[in-house]
Each structure stands twice: as C-alpha cells, then as structure tokens.
C-alpha cells in the first residue's frame, strides 16, 4: 500500500498562508490531504493540523472584528468581501466574492489581521468540539463498572467516532433480540442451528422477537452471544445498563450451527453480503476444517467490495500452547499436550485470514486461562472472576444471572450469579474498536486496519517481543482504541515513523 507524504513543510508559509494568528500567537498549520470532513462540515472545506494535532477546517468564510468601523467599507471593497452575518456590531462573517483556495483564504485573513482598523481576523474554522465535563461520558448506570473501557482508552476514541455507519456481525450462541440495551442496534438476525438458515433483515423493532422461529436463541442457557453483543454495541445514553465500545454501530446477530459446518460458512458469507464489515466469533473447535479456512480467505480477500471483511476469533480459554497438541478427557474437557501422538491443535483462531485475540485481566496481565502461541495477534481485556466483564445479559432469569446484565464479579449479587470472562469477551472488544476505526475512515482495507492496530498497541508484560514486535502471549500487544482511531483519522495522509507494513495473510508466518 502507498501513503501520501506531506512535503509542505519545505515550502514558505508566507506564500501559502500556512498559519493563523490567535491573538498574539502565530499558529503554524500543516495541510492534511484528502482528510474526511468533520461531522456536518461542508465537503468544500480543506483541513490542516496544528502543532498540537488539532484538526482545523478552512472554507471560503472569514471572521473580521473591527477596532474602527470607519475603515470597514474600505476593507470590504479592497478584499472583495461579501457580508454573510453580523455576530456583533463590530464582528462580521464574510465570504470572498471571488472563489479563493483554502491557502488564499488563510493568507488574506492573515493580511487583514495586520490592518490598523482590525482587532483580529481569521478563517471561520471548522473545529472538533471535545467534552470537558468531569461527569461520566454516558448516562448509563453501569458505565463506571466497565473498567475495560479505560484500559483501552475508548474515551479517547470517542472524540472521533462512536461507530456510526458500521455493521458488525456477531456469530455466537444465544442473542436476546428483545434486550432493552441492544434492540435499537440490531438490524438483522438468524438461526443457523434450527431456524431458516438465512438472515432476517428488519425494518421495524416489532420484528425483534425471541419467539421468532429464526431468532438466535440459546440452547446452553447462557445466552453467551448477548454478552458479546453488548460489549460491542450496547446503546448509549438510555439510562440502562452500560454502554458498548461502539454504541452507534449496528449489529447482525446469528446463532451458529450445531450440525453441518457448511451452515457456518453460509452464515458468515450471508453476514458479509448483508453489509457486515467485521464478524466476531467467540467460539472454536481446535479442529478447523479446510472449508471454513477457505471461507475466511474469501471474506478476507473479497469481502467489503474487495477491501476485506475483518474476521475476529477468540483464542480460547484452555491455557494451551496452540502450537502444540491436545486430547479430550472423559468429560470432554480439553487437555493440553506436548505429545506428538495426540492431535495437533488446528483452531479457527489460527487461520492466517483471521485476527486471533488473547485475554488480559483487569491488572493488565495475561490471563492464566488464555491460550497462547505464534498465531496470537492482539490482546484485549477478558477479565477474571475477581474483576469480570460487565455487559448485557439475557433479560429476566435466563442467562448468566437474573439481572439483565452480567455481574462485575463472581457472586456479585448472589452466589449463583455467573460472571462473564474469557477470550470470549476479548474478541468483541477488538470488534468494537475496529468498528470505531472503520467509522472514522471507512475507506481502509483490512491490511490497513491491521497496520493501524499493530502501530498503536501497548507493549506490556514480561515476555520479550521479537524483531517484528510480537510474542506468543501478547501478539503485537494490547489494543489501544484511542491511539488506533486517531491514527485511522490520519491514515494515508501524514508521514508516520516506523510504520508497520503487513500483508494481512502473512500475519502468522
């Protein structure tokens, strides 16, 4: 992939007006080429960055504040200014009668700023507002229990996006379509175990019924997919539960097949064809079949109009070296092995076409249950019983506990409450962050998304990282949403030092 490098720094700022005056301070500006506009901004606006990284949009309008109104008409005539709005008696919004480029607007505003009769002049900048409140960023009562948002700097990512315009597929077991914190973000569902084995796309909320024959109901009783879905897209600011990492993202949810593996391939492709840019999977078999790996390849290389669907898998909770072997005990529990006579582990999370996610605790340590090995790409919070993941649970008595939301820790309200932890939680964490990335910059390919994630991870832990910045426990490190989404907003348009250049299918080689 190629990235446009900025060369404007070598050119004279006075010629191009690549600065502006803020009072007595001269603020340098660097042009950002082809940057997507700020929300609600005109497509005619050009963008610049200040030395602090703030993004400013320059259009055709300027603001002039006069010290001496006697010179107002002369200045308007000399510079061809057309009055658009009078903010006060002395402060006026203008546009130039003749079209000016952004560089010319800056230069002319700077020149007007120096005139004796002018108090100040500058472009009518488009600028991103940032919340300054010290109160919670959402009005959801369980927000402060979602410790993992802080661990990944999700708050920083929310300065750029909350996931609007992106669809995430959740392929799992048991998603409560009628959940109070999910239903407004679910746009499609299916049951590939006992339903129609195709998706139902909805046009009204009344179609979301758990008694629908195609609803992705739970057989285990845990309603596992409900918890995964809430991590990604629990609704914000509805005074219920917590909030998802990408609360403006839409979901397509489906129950995985309990029979033929071909149903799983069909389901994943159906999700992509219905618009899912990301598909998260908190399941695995330790025995990936070629047909599924081929499905992952097709999604990775041809999905999303050729940009590639990002398929994410939980690495598993057996504490196993995925480069080794395994056997099942009499109860069907997986036991790790170094014996070549046992079965080699060949899990879906080890496919070269997916992202494999390991799990960390609330103390930023690798969870002792988390599988490891050369296939691990990234880590994200998965929790422990002592500090578990607060997310949506099936409504009523069904699910992990009877409170509509998972408890923060084992026995939080009742000894029978079951906490939600594991790489099952870590995988949708990454899906939510990728949704924020693609919402900020939807033109990114899957290779570029992986580049961004690799370049912004935190390198934690006692395990040494190799020359490629990777190890078998952390992969490339723990996901940092704030840094990743910020880089996504700039990707391809600014010079980045030591930028990772990864071919997606070579991740595990």
pLDDT at 5 (0 to 100): 25
- Helix (H, G, I), strand (E, B), or coil: what is residue 252? strand
Residue among 425, 406, 434, 360 at smallest CA distance from 228: 425
Structure tokens at 334: 């997986």
pLDDT at 497 over 70: no
Which pTM was predicted?
Answer: 0.73
Average pLDDT of the chain to the nearest whole number: 86
HEC secondary structure over 304-367: HHHCCCEEEEECCCCCCECCCEEEECCCCCEEEECCCCCEECECHHHCCCCEEEEEECCCCCEC
HEC secondary structure over 40-63: CCCCCCEEEECCCCCEEEECCEEE
Q: How far apart are CA 169 and CA 285, in angstroms?
A: 19
pLDDT at 134 (0 to 100): 40
- State in words which class domain 151-506 has: alpha beta
pLDDT at 2 (0 to 100): 30
Contact 127, 228 (CB under 8 A): no
Could you tell me the residue ranges of all domains in the chain?
8-127, 151-506
For the segment 384-400, the average pLDDT, to the nearest whole number, is 91
For the segment 315-322, the average pLDDT, to the nearest whole number, is 94
pLDDT at 175 over 60: yes
pLDDT at 384 over 60: yes
- Helix (H, G, I), strand (E, B), or coil: what is residue 485? helix
pLDDT at 379 over 70: yes
Q: Count of alpha carbons within 13 Å of 377, Cβ hemisphere only?
A: 31
Region of residue 216 (phi > 0: left; psi between -120 and 50: alpha; otherwise: beta): beta
pLDDT at 410 (0 to 100): 52
Q: How far apart are CA 48 and CA 41, in angstroms?
A: 14
Out of 145-149, 200-204, 439-443, 491-495, least confident range: 491-495
pLDDT at 188 (0 to 100): 98
Out of 238-247, 415-424, 493-502, least confident range: 493-502
Give the number of other Cβ atoms within 10 Å of residue 54's Cβ. Answer: 14
Residue among 353, 345, 307 at smallest CA distance from 325: 345
Out of 14-28, 80-94, 109-123, 435-449, least confident range: 14-28
Element (H, E) at 81: strand 81-86
pLDDT band for position 11 (cuts 50, 70, 90): very low
- Helix (H, G, I), strand (E, B), or coil: what is residue 70? helix
Q: How far apart are CA 227 and CA 492, in angstroms?
A: 35
Q: How far apart are CA 205 and CA 169, in angstroms?
A: 18
Q: How far apart are CA 368 and CA 448, in angstroms?
A: 31
- Helix (H, G, I), strand (E, B), or coil: what is residue 30? strand
Return the exposure string of 89-127: e unless at least 16 CB atoms fall within 10 Å of the residue's CB, then b: eeebbbbbeeebebbbbbbbbbebbebeebebbbbbbbe
User: Would strands 250-255 and 186-191 be described as parallel, antiparallel, or unpaired?
Assistant: parallel
pLDDT at 376 over 70: yes
Beta strands in 271-314 (DSSP E): 278-281, 310-314
pLDDT digits (tens, 9 = 90+) for 90-125: 999 999 999 999 999 999 999 999 999 999 999 998
Region of residue 153 (phi > 0: left; psi between -120 and 50: alpha; otherwise: beta): left
pLDDT digits (tens, 9 = 90+) for 250-308: 999 999 998 788 999 999 999 999 999 999 999 998 889 999 999 999 999 999 999 99
pLDDT at 403 (0 to 100): 87
Residue among 226, 244, 238 at smallest CA distance from 163: 244
pLDDT at 191 (0 to 100): 97
């Amino acid at each position: 992939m190629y990235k446009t490098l900025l060369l404007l720094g070598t050119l004279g700022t006075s010629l191009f007006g690549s600065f502006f005056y803020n009072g007595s301070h001269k603020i340098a500006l660097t042009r950002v080429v082809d940057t997507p506009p700020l929300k609600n901004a005109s497509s005619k606006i050009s963008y610049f960055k200040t030395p602090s990284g703030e993004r400013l949009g320059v259009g055709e309008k300027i603001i002039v504040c006069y010290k001496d109104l006697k010179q107002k008409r002369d200045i308007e005539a000399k510079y061809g200014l057309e009055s658009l709005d009078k903010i006060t008696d002395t402060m006026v919004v203008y546009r130039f009668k003749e079209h000016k480029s952004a560089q010319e607007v800056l230069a002319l505003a700077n020149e007007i700023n120096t005139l004796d009769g002018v108090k100040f002049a500058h472009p009518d900048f488009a600028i991103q507002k940032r919340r300054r409140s010290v109160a919670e960023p959402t009005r959801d009562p369980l927000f402060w229990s979602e410790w993992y948002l802080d661990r990944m700097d999700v708050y920083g990512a929310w300065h750029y996006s909350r996931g609007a315009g992106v669809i995430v597929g959740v392929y799992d077991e048991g998603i409560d379509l009628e959940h109070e914190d999910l239903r407004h973000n679910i746009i499609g569902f299916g049951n590939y175990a006992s339903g129609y084995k195709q998706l139902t796309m909805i046009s009204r909320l009344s179609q979301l019924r758990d008694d629908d024959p195609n609803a992705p109901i739970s057989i285990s009783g845990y309603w596992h997919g409900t918890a995964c879905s809430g991590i990604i897209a629990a609704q914000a600011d509805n005074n219920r539960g917590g909030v998802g990492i990408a609360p403006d993202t839409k979901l397509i949810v489906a129950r995985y097949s309990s029979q033929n593996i071909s149903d799983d391939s069909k389901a994943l492709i159906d999700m992509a064809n219905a618009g899912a840019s990301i598909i998260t999977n908190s399941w695995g078999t330790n025995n990936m079949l070629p047909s599924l790996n081929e499905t992952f390849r097709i999604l990775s290389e041809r999905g999303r109009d050729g940009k590639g669907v990002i398929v994410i898998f939980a690495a598993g909770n057996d504490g196993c070296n995925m480069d080794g072997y395994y056997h099942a005990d009499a109860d069907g529990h997986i036991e790790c092995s170094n014996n070549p006579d046992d079965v080699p582990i060949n899990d879906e999370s080890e496919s070269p076409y997916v992202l494999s996610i390991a799990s960390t605790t609330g103390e930023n340590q690798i969870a002792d249950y988390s599988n490891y090995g050369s296939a691990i790409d990234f880590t994200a919070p998965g929790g422990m019983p002592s500090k578990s993941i607060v997310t949506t649970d099936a409504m009523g008595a069904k699910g992990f506990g009877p409170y509509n939301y998972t408890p923060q820790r084992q026995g939080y309200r009742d000894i029978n409450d079951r906490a939600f932890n594991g790489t099952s939680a870590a995988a949708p964490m990454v899906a939510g962050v990728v949704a924020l990335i693609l919402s900020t910059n939807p033109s990114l390919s899957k290779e570029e998304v992986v580049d961004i994630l690799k370049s912004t991870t935190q390198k934690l832990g006692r395990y040494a990282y190799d020359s490629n910045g990777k190890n078998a426990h952390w992969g490339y490190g723990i996901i940092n949403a704030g840094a990743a989404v910020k880089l996504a907003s700039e990707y391809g348009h600014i010079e980045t030092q030591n930028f990772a250049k990864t071919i997606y299918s070579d991740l595990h080689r």
